[in-house]
Structure 1
Amino acid sequence: MKSFDIVTLTVNPSVDKSTHFSGLIAEQKIRCKDPQFDAGGGGINVSKAISRLRGNSLAVFTAGGPVGEMLKDLVTEEKIDFEVIETKTATRENFIAVDDHTNSQYRFGFSGDVLEDSEVEGILETISNLKPKFLVASGSLNEGLSDDFYQKIAEIAKTSNSKLVVDTSGEALKKVLETGAYLIKPNVGELAKLIGVERLEMEEVDDAAKKIIANGGAEIVVVSLGPQGAVLVTKDSCDFVPAPNVAKKSTVGAGDSMVGGMVWALSQNKNLKEVIRWGVACGSAATMNEGTQLFKFEDANRLFEWLKNR
């Protein structure tokens, strides 16, 4: 089998359906425009972002039922290599709708069905056999999947000498820190929970991230600051990058685009200053497109050039 420097894992993928309507009125039928269908889920979106940057990755994900077949077709259309763990339960769908009267975006997400033990083992076995340079575990976990699942992935990554990048939240992320990852990407609220405080002021973010690094939770902590940008922290450095001012149409996939930009830059041996700027550029560029389309290469490249000296 062809080897890949980057492997992404999506345990709980989705087919994302997006549309537009005019006016939200309770108890009345809402007429929607023709839907756009996109392959969704954290790791798949990361692979899509890497592909837009002319990079290559292997997307590993679960799929089941008619929606799962649609998901595979959509990933194929993206020209992304993939490996599927087939499931007896159907792949979930998510729904995103924009009210053209207000430009408000409504996002409806569904939980993934319970995976059978054999399917969970199939995921772990597949990841164990791949041994990539960079392994990205991103997105939510299915109902019934234990909080230590990504920790098991972290243990596999450590055994395989893969650099693990994790983008998740809650107890699943806390468990990963017990084993350790190469890079994690919490937002400020998630970072606060990781160190056991109710909230963090902006001037406290650097020290909070360094506390995680000092405890062996990660080598690099990238803290997403939303419209303000992001900060990349290592044990001996801190680099804040402001988000460029762009016309936002959708925030769906912006975080995944950011991760994709950073992992692609790491795979190209870019320095950390460039890595965080590619991440912010891709994340910001993703907000310029509607629905779940992620970003255009031209937009990301232009924003990176703008950020290079900032």
Structure 2
Amino acid sequence: MAIATLTLNPALDVTTCTEKVRPGHKLRCSPPRFDPGGGGINVARVITHLGGEAVAVFPSGGPAGATIVQLLEEQRVAILPVPIKGATRESFTVDEGRPGDQYRFVLPGPGLSDDELATLLDALFGVEDVSHIVVSGSLPPGCDPAILKRIGKRCAEAGVKLVIDTSGPALAACEGAGAWLIKPSLREVVDLLGREIRSEDDEMAAARELRKRGFAEMVVVSLAERGALLVGEGVELRVPAIPVEAKGTVGAGDSMVAAISLAASQGKGIEDALHYGIAAGAATLMTPATELARKEDVDRLYAGTASRG
């Protein structure tokens, strides 16, 4: 079965490199790289690269939106772009030196009208033979976070598992949305609960609290260089990160969500799915700029985790 993804605020990711970022100077840059971006789009790209079936649903407007469509078609990612009046945003990443620091500039994106949102949801739930829907990324300006509860209700009616990866008010709106799985970072959990988390016991307790409050059946908390933890029905575990040489950080979380969702759609258990997700996140760290995980790297890293038990 397929996985449908929804990106409410996509972006054309533009990446370049300069020797040194300094104020007041013309910064000579390398030729830019263009990638289709936004959480759900990245999830669909990774699922497709890993050999799964995904359909990316997203709003598209202006030259950046047209470029995203073209790039996804070139990558043979199945898409359902919904035309909008506004212009799709761009995000700009500058790598300083080789290797060096990375600067990420993120624009807000266009607002969506009620009619445009309704058309997006109709397109999303019009995808056939879907086992999971992944809603990932930020909300566009002015978008009511309650849209996640609307999506959750329709998922429940359709018998589809909902995966949400978002932050801020949108993450807070996940409470009671009926999600199967959410994947906040530890910092996002701290911001959501409004208290410091000082120990591993605190981390696990926070994930339990989110699950008890109805944020999701499964709560995966990403812990950056320490890996991730999972709390679900009858299962609590930690999976350590896989040490790799990091060349970029863009899309690592999206890759984790993609691999977890793909493994679950294929009938794998949640523990196995989390190991696969950790491998996909690590594989993306190995790639430069906005490039995402390569299947051969994911398979190799995942096989390594399996061999360690």
Q: Same fold (TM over 0.5)?
A: yes
1:206 matched residue in structure 2: 204
- Residue identity (%): 38
Residue 200 of structure 1: CA displacement? 4.6
1:189 matched residue in structure 2: 187
Question: Secondary structure of 2:176's match?
Answer: helix
Question: Secondary structure of 1:166's match?
Answer: strand
Can you list the C-alpha shifts for 1:89-143, whole angstroms capped at 9, x where unaligned?
1110001111116610111101111112211111122233336210000000111
Distance 2:195 2:23 in 1: 39
Q: Which runs of 5+ in 1 are unaligned?
A: none
197-206 vs 10-19, which deviates more? 197-206
Question: Secondary structure of 1:96's match?
Answer: strand
2:56 matched residue in structure 1: 59
Map residues 99-118 of structure 1 onto 2, 5 A cutoff: 99-100=96-97, 103-118=100-115
Q: TM-score, normalised by structure 1?
A: 0.95
RMSD over equivalenced CA pairs, Å: 1.4
Question: Secondary structure of 2:230's match?
Answer: strand
**Match of 1:17, as an amino acid?**
V
Alignment of 1:252 onto 2:250: yes
Residue 207 of structure 1: CA displacement? 1.8
Residue 196 of structure 1: CA displacement? 4.2
1:23 matched residue in structure 2: 20
Question: Secondary structure of 1:177's match?
Answer: coil
Matched residue count: 307
Contact (CA 8 Å) 2:84, 2:116: kept in 1 or not?
yes
Contact (CA 8 Å) 2:18, 2:97: kept in 1 or not?
yes
**Match of 1:11, as an amino acid?**
L
Contact (CA 8 Å) 2:197, 2:203: kept in 1 or not?
no
1:37 matched residue in structure 2: 34
Q: TM-score, normalised by structure 2?
A: 0.95
63-72 vs 142-151, which deviates more? 142-151
Alignment of 1:217 onto 2:215: yes
Residue 23 of structure 1: CA displacement? 1.3
Question: Secondary structure of 1:58's match?
Answer: strand
Question: Secondary structure of 2:108's match?
Answer: coil
Distance 1:256 1:209 in 2: 20
Can you list the C-alpha shifts for 1:258-285, whole angstroms capped at 9, x where unaligned?
1011111111111122101110000011
2:164 matched residue in structure 1: 166
Q: Does the C-alpha gap of structure 1 residues 169 and 200 become closer, same or farther in structure 2, counting only changes over 3 Å? A: farther
Distance 1:194 1:60 in 2: 28
Map residues 38-187 of structure 1 onto 2, 5 A cutoff: 38-100=35-97, 103-130=100-127, 132-187=130-185
Question: Secondary structure of 1:145's match?
Answer: coil
Q: Does the C-alpha gap of structure 1 residues 161 and 306 become closer, same or farther in structure 2, counting only changes over 3 Å? A: same
Contact (CA 8 Å) 1:45, 1:253: kept in 2 or not?
yes
Distance 1:291 1:155 in 2: 37
Contact (CA 8 Å) 1:42, 1:256: kept in 2 or not?
yes
Distance 2:221 2:286 in 1: 21
Distance 1:245 1:197 in 2: 30
**Match of 2:61, as an amino acid?**
G
Q: 1:275 aligns with which of 268, 273, 276?
A: 273
Residue 35 of structure 1: CA displacement? 0.6
Contact (CA 8 Å) 1:150, 1:172: kept in 2 or not?
yes
